[in-house]
Amino acid sequence: MSTIADFNSASNAETDREHEVQISLLLALCGAAAENRDAASVAEILDQLIAYSEAHFMSEELLMRLKSYDDYEDHVDDHIHMLDVLREIAVGHAAGNSVLVAGRAAEVLVFIGNHIDARDRRFADYVRNNL
């Protein structure tokens, strides 16, 4: 029979897998932009990255609410910032400013890496300590 501990360790493992997918989509975007791939291919990766990030952030935010997490607001501010930047990149790309995609995607990659290492790790520790 599964326990709350099983649930939590499974949800952390699931979250780690989601971070891997998110990072790999971002790396794919950086690569496509750096190689000057056609606009439709770059747009498709951007759309996938935005949709995946929306779903991933929503599931993380639901778990934070469920756990009455004490850093909820600042953590969600990071998510909002990342989605704002990704949507700005997509709007700029659709308007023909594709030259900016590689640099801005690299900035998002650094931001997401710091977010996962700091805020997501803190939340994972919180979940483990508040079963």
Contacts to Fe ion by CB under 5 A: 60, 120
38 vs 107, which CB is nearer to Fe ion? Answer: 107
- Provide the minimum distance between the beta carbon of 75 and Fe ion in the complex, in angstroms, as a whole number: 6
> Are 49 and 104 contacting, i.e. CB atoms less than 8 angstroms apart?
no
Give the single-character DSSP code of 130: -
Q: Measured from the CB atom, is 37 or 122 closer to Fe ion?
A: 122
Angle between helices 101-115 and 72-94 (to 10 degrees): 170
| Minimum gap (Å) between residue 46 Cβ and Fe ion | 20
Nearer to Fe ion, 82 or 105 (CB): 82
Instruction: Provide, rounded to whole angstroms, the least separation between the CB of residue 33 and Fe ion.
Output: 24
Q: Which residue is nearest to Fe ion (CB)?
A: 120
- 37 vs 56, beta carbon nearer Fe ion: 56
Q: Whole-angstrom distance between the N-terminal and C-terminal Cα of the chain?
A: 17
Q: How far apart are CB 104 and Fe ion at their closest, in Å? A: 20
